Structure 1
């Protein structure tokens, strides 16, 4: 590992190239560049997730930590090639002051050549992705609405702000649920006429599951709230012939029940973030099924027909703070109302 303190972007580029040469790195062996936007307290979590994802998709990981926007502009960097991050090449960049608002000036020269770019926010999702240039340069953008203060509202905001290439880890977390539910109809052509989802009111996976069922089956699922479980508990489908199909979460498994058949237990583990991230990195084209489910959740049609390109909309947090300052207050240094 190489540590560079109070450095410049050019020095980081030179140090990465030198470390790659000494480690025998080959740029053509990289599948993509992964930009991870994280908070300081989640850097180790992001590194652990990137290590798992890089085992399946060798990549260059660029971790951006924005801190202290009011302080002096400074860049600290750690460069790791191999080592604790497995096959990944990683640069952890801590940006302070106004530099943090222009992270792309440091990140762009570090992108691996001729490979796709994925930006992943391991933090509360941005209100508008176009405000962050790191989202504009990406071919694929991964958010995590579960980290927002109101996860369901954050998912609906993702629909309003959607462009092809966007996805959310909430969608990835219901992959196994969708597989179990869809597999129940491999051997029958019965029409589904209703669905009931038991989950906490704030669970975004339940909301997106309802959107998926609505988009796929043309029904309006009923969300049955519960405070007894921290996550989605069960999904029940009612068929036109009176049969019911129910998937109920147990500890690491799912109880699969169907009218007229014996109950079965199927695997339903809670996966680490690294596995969820690796799943999303398997595809770099727009996910139309996700866009339809998200649109059904938010009541917005034809998300997939939106243009995939965004235009960067500059937003200065200091100016926003001045605009929000109460009447009679004035903005002090750094835009703080005093």
Structure 2
């Protein structure tokens, strides 16, 4: 491991090359570059999650810690390692001070793995608009987590208003197991669903995305009602002869219930953030199903048909700007419209 204090971007590039030579390999089978954007107070959690994801997907891990933007002088401290505490691959932790933190791309761009996709993950509260952050603009995939925002549903509405193909959110990834089991529950059935109910806190963005997915796929009204417990507890779909349901049995399994068929218990594990991130890195293309679910929940039509192109919009966080200017005009008018949003919140 090489630690550089008050350094430059070119010195970091040279340190990475030296570490690769010292490791005895001049080329690694890198599947992608993972850029992690995090505040100092959450660095340990972000490193742990990113290390778990990097173990499943060989990548160059670039952790950008924006510190003290108001510092009078720009400064870069970096830690470069291969096969160290951040896993078997290549990892660089960069702490940026002062105005340099607003131009992190000037350091990150030369460090991207050549000819490999780029995924940017905001471990903290996601940006109001991804175009404000150049680390998101140059990425092929952009991963946020609305569950970390002070108001998760407001953050999810912003994600819908700001959506471009390539965006995703870990709130969506959290329901992958639920969607798999519910699809399995309908295997071999031909009856028509009538309505659906999700047993979860209405303020849970995962539950609302689940409701949007059900509405998009089944075309039925969906209700989300609270249970007082964190996370989704059950989903029930009314059919002609009763209901098809998936309910959580414990932290690792769920139960499928269908009319006239014995109950089945199948794996339904509660994933930690590292596992969620690894799951999301399995696909590097546009997630059309997520776009459809987000569109159905928010009431903003045809999110999947957007261009997917972003241009960087400069915003100085030190300047006071009207909040309304940060969100496309369609957001306030349409983000809460639609039966799912009304029934769930």
Please name the residue that 2:329 is paired with.
none
What are the within-5 Å matches in structure 2 for residues 112-123 of structure 1? 112-123=113-124
Please name the residue that 2:248 is paired with.
249
Structure 1: give runs of 5+ residues left out of the alignment: 325-338
3-state DSSP of counterpart to 2:319: helix
The answer as to whether partners of 2:143 and 2:167 remain within 8 angstroms in 1 is: yes
Report the count of equivalent residues: 321
What are the within-5 Å matches in structure 2 for residues 63-212 of structure 1? 63-71=63-71, 72-212=73-213
TM-score, normalization: structure 2? 0.90
3-state DSSP of counterpart to 2:85: helix
Residue 201 of structure 1 deviates from its aligned partner by 2.1
- Mapped to 2, the partners of 1:45 and 1:68 lie a distance apart of 20
3-state DSSP of counterpart to 2:271: coil
CA offsets per residue over residues 148-199 of structure 1, 9 Å max, x none? 0111221121111000000111111000000000111111111111000111
- Mapped to 2, the partners of 1:135 and 1:318 lie a distance apart of 20
- Mapped to 1, the partners of 2:57 and 2:16 lie a distance apart of 20
**Runs in 1 of length 4+ with deviation above 3 angstroms?**
25-28
TM-score, normalization: structure 1? 0.92
Change (3 A) 1:298 1:176: same
The answer as to whether partners of 2:201 and 2:224 remain within 8 angstroms in 1 is: no
3-state DSSP of counterpart to 1:82: strand
- Mapped to 2, the partners of 1:65 and 1:143 lie a distance apart of 16
- Mapped to 2, the partners of 1:251 and 1:2 lie a distance apart of 44
3-state DSSP of counterpart to 1:149: coil
3-state DSSP of counterpart to 1:99: helix
Please name the residue that 2:341 is paired with.
none
Matched, 1:310 2:310: yes
Please name the residue that 1:32 is paired with.
32
- Mapped to 2, the partners of 1:79 and 1:16 lie a distance apart of 6
3-state DSSP of counterpart to 2:153: helix
Please name the residue that 1:59 is paired with.
59
- Mapped to 2, the partners of 1:247 and 1:232 lie a distance apart of 10
Residue 21 of structure 1 deviates from its aligned partner by 0.9
The answer as to whether partners of 1:27 and 1:112 remain within 8 angstroms in 2 is: no
Change (3 A) 1:26 1:250: farther
The answer as to whether partners of 1:201 and 1:226 remain within 8 angstroms in 2 is: no
Residue 60 of structure 1 deviates from its aligned partner by 0.3
The answer as to whether partners of 2:186 and 2:244 remain within 8 angstroms in 1 is: no
Residue 28 of structure 1 deviates from its aligned partner by 4.9
Residue 55 of structure 1 deviates from its aligned partner by 2.0
Across the aligned residues of Structure 1 and Structure 2, the Cα RMSD in angstroms comes to 1.4
3-state DSSP of counterpart to 2:122: strand
The answer as to whether partners of 1:159 and 1:294 remain within 8 angstroms in 2 is: yes
- Mapped to 2, the partners of 1:244 and 1:113 lie a distance apart of 52
The answer as to whether partners of 2:54 and 2:87 remain within 8 angstroms in 1 is: yes
Structure 2: give runs of 5+ residues left out of the alignment: 324-345
Residue 233 of structure 1 deviates from its aligned partner by 1.3
